[in-house]
Amino acid sequence: MRRTMAVLTGLVLITVATACGGGDRERLGATPVPSPSGTVERPAAGDHRLTLPHDGVERSYLLHAPPGYDPARPTALVVALHFYPGSGAGVRETTGLDAVADRENFLVAYPDGRGAGFNALICCGTADDVGFLKALTAHLVQTWRADPDRIYLTGISNGGDMSFRAAVEVDGVFAAIGVVSGGYIGHRTTPEDYMPEHPVSVITFIGGQDRYADAFTEGVRTWQRRLGCKPASGRPPAGAAGVTRTDARCADGSDVTVYTLLDMGHSWPGAPAGQLADPDAGLVATELIWAFFAAHPRRA
């Protein structure tokens, strides 16, 4: 399935610092917490299918809490956005983020887009996904003690486009985004002031055989120009044959890392299974994205 589905016929971690009251194990998350939808959420390790009311509808999402999850401690959060048409379950399979979360101890949320997509930069739909991502992250901070300084967003294709939109419009929430086969493109990005007001670091992966490769590359250049980014030296090389890496430091202190994979199409590099997986791309995007996120907590 290709990005063509994402463009009309074409194919996207948080801790609250609130300490809960003293005593033995009297803490946020140790007891059931009512959710905005009226259901009771029990913050605990494991896989949870949850809903959150927003804009007059119940929005669904999967939440994975690692075995080491402790509701008494602030925990990093990654929100992962799917391609179009797709689902949270689909991007969960493709990215393999659960295994990394279990090892590194962070939460992962996989929202479902309305109509199988997100209202991103060039498609798909008319839902208030900017508002939904604000509401979802706020809820996970309050109820699941996601660390507000370690909230991250990743996505592929339509979900990657939505990650760029959220970096600009969900102001001050996401410390960094990881964009795979997606871009800072489309009419929304035309105004020169369409850029984050607070630092948001970016890691992105572009396939040289992706029909949108030129647009994605140009979008990154525009992002860097608007944010006053300059090439950064002394970073490790990409390593694999046919893979190039560039790094830049921006005027606001954010970083931009771009991997270009000459032989890859519209895919998630290193994914062993799932839609849009490319297990032979020469690197594992999921591992690189998490390492980038872990090195980029929210800047003041």
Question: How many domains does the chain divide into?
Answer: 1
| Inter-residue contact 287 to 100 (CB < 8 Å) | yes
For 244, which DSSP code? Answer: E
Q: Which of 146, 129, 128 is nearest to 137 (CA)?
A: 146
pLDDT of residue 36: 60
Q: Check pLDDT > 50 for residue 24.
A: no
- Does the residue 13 lie in any domain? no
Tell me the CA distances in angstroms from 241 to 237, 244, 245, one per residue in order: 11, 8, 11
Over the chain, what is the mean pLDDT? 88
Sign of CA dihedral 54, 57, 60, 63: positive
Q: What is the pLDDT of residues 151-207, one digit of tens each?
A: 999 999 999 999 999 999 999 999 999 999 999 999 999 999 999 999 999 999 999
Give me the residue label for tokens 């419009």. 169
- Does the residue 300 lie in any domain? no
Predicted confidence band of residue 241 (pLDDT cuts 50, 70, 90): confident
**Which has more confidence, 135 or 31?**
135
Give the chain's radius of gyration (CA, Å). 18
- Does the residue 133 lie in any domain? yes
| Inter-residue contact 54 to 83 (CB < 8 Å) | no
Tokens of 225: 């120009």
Written as one letter, the residue type at 174 is F
Question: CA angle at residue 82 from 106 to 134, to 5 degrees?
Answer: 65
- Does the residue 25 lie in any domain? no
- Does the residue 11 lie in any domain? no
Q: Containing domain of residue 116, as a range?
A: 33-294
| Inter-residue contact 162 to 120 (CB < 8 Å) | yes
Q: What is the pTM of this model?
A: 0.87
pLDDT of residue 13: 34
| Inter-residue contact 6 to 81 (CB < 8 Å) | no
**CATH code assigned at 139:** 3.40.50.1820
For 82, which DSSP code? Answer: -
DSSP per-residue letters across 5-64? BTTTTB-------PPP--SSS--TTSS-EE-TTS-EE---SEEEEEEEEETTEEEEEEEE
- Does the residue 22 lie in any domain? no
Q: What is the pLDDT of residues 68-102, one digit of tens each?
A: 999 999 999 999 999 999 999 999 999 999 999 99
- Does the residue 51 lie in any domain? yes
Sheet holding 46-54: strands in order across? 46-54, 57-65, 107-111, 75-81, 146-156, 176-180, 201-207, 255-261, 243-249, 230-231
- Does the residue 89 lie in any domain? yes
Report the percentage of the chain scoring pLDDT > 70: 85
Question: CA angle at residue 151 from 139 to 116, to 5 degrees?
Answer: 70
